[in-house]
Structure 1
Amino acid sequence: MNPGNQTTVTGFILLGFQNIQNYRSVLFFALLLTFLVTVFGNLLIIVLASVSKNLSSPMYFFLSHLSACDLLLTTVIVPLMLNIISRNKDSISFLGCFTQFYLFGALAATECVLLSVMSYDRYVAICNPLRYSSIMSFRKCIHLVFWSWFTSFSFMLNTAIQVFRLQFCGPNIIDHFFCDLAPLLQLSCSDTSFVELENLVTGLPATFLPLMYIMGTYIFIFNAMLKISTTTGRQKAFYTCSSHLTVVSLYYGTLIVAYLFLSKESSLNVNKGLSLLYTVVTPLVNPIIYSFRNKEIKIAFSKLVYVGRKSWL
């Protein structure tokens, strides 16, 4: 532990879902199944985008990184949550709690930036189709993905360091299923005003500036769609964006409700439910949305199954 952080707390106790004891087994197996399906679905997209020649475009390159982000996010949260449910509560070390807090925040910010990068890709594809290949070169795609991960983890590192320097004198009980910012600030016996201000200055732009960018790009995209003369052409253009729009709506919808419209006095159960949406449900739904609404992914999966079956026989 940091010598400069003079605290009597060496760990925290996560309570999880204390008021649903009668449904603990059902919740455990439901979350376990969800976790396994999430891991399989996101790994499948990463593998398909890596080995299939039909999925070698920038859109699927970005999608594979979005799946990697979802996979890491659910891995950071769900295994510990399952342990909490099985034991009714669980302890986590001081360093482990802040590591989880940092990784969760960094991965959530990365997902926001990656979604904005994907909207830029759709903008170029629809508004500048003739220059798409030259604009979205492999080198540019690498740069966009690298800076998406690097900036998100860098922004979040500053907030995590500030929280880590806070003093925690007790109690050490967190009525949640993971180490989120709000319960940690409530437990601190230090002045948290600076941390709250710093999180507002760095956290909100990292989350909502990408949303503003996505909204801006789609204004140009929809304007370009209206100029397409044929109905078939407009439908095809909209189809290429529909999966991305659905994912953006689901992810940002839960974030906005959780962090803007719910006050600190809101029910803890409501907050936990919303946290489940963007930590468990969204990583599960993303690959499902892209798989069921994308013919190229279905074809690539069929070819992969065929090759695997042929080699097995």
Structure 2
Amino acid sequence: MTTSAITKVSEQLCFGGKQIRYKHQSAVLHCDMQFSVFLPPQAETARVPALYWLSGLTCTDENFSSKAGAQQFAAKLGIALIIPDTSPRGDDVPDDENAAYDFGLGAGFYVNATQAPFNKHYKMYDYIVSELPELVEAALPLTDKRAISGHSMGGHGALVIGLRNPERYCSISAFSPICNPANSPWGIKAFNGYLGEDRSQWQQYDASLLLRDAKKVAPILVDQGSADNFYPEQLRTASLVEAASLNDVNAEIRLQPGYDHSYYFIASFIGEHLHFHAQYLK
């Protein structure tokens, strides 16, 4: 089945709604892409708002849909879930020369790369903000109400995209986000590779730096586990807390005792995140 520019790959019934996987040719990323969608039961008779979920390093569009348990809450709240892949993929898409997990395929960092050979394909920022919403909103029963969330690298992406586009997203949330990538090992490696050595170009993709100066900020909810093995060095949550306090914005940043970086953590609090977004997606 083809709907507009997207082709259905698979479909399963889930909590009275539909869990669907699509593929399409991306004009932004110059490759074939797959993404997953959960349409709640309410989408059978009306248009519904959407939460865009951005996954972390090494993930595809299937990790969140199969592990987080989000559909049960989305079904009750009448929220669609839009779950893109984490990077461009394909034989012609360049990867890290050492096939590292934290750069290249599966690690697009939701930026628009400017450095060769990555600048042709790695335009994940434009893909998430523009191309994918245009595709799904034209093909599926969605309203123009959007929220954004994500985990780890995807939490970084959700915060950055939400902060840079307050007119497009009603609310923002994140699990274990990379809060200050310009000063974390993961971020420094990725930004050097995708954006080059000019650190002034990194600021537009750093949530802590963006939040300090943001004029308009959507409500934010962040959860970070205290037993996360990437906390605090890679994730630098304190930088986001400091930025939020300096700007006096509507941001709740919670440290959850004993939780780690896994999908067990996400599954434990995803219901609270969906209820958080639901109040702004009305």
Query: What TM-score do the two structures reach when normalised by structure 1?
Result: 0.26
Higher relative contact order structure (alpha carbons within 8 Å, sequence separation ≥ 6): 1
Query: What TM-score do the two structures reach when normalised by structure 2?
Result: 0.28
Structure number with the higher strand fraction is 2
Higher Rg: 1
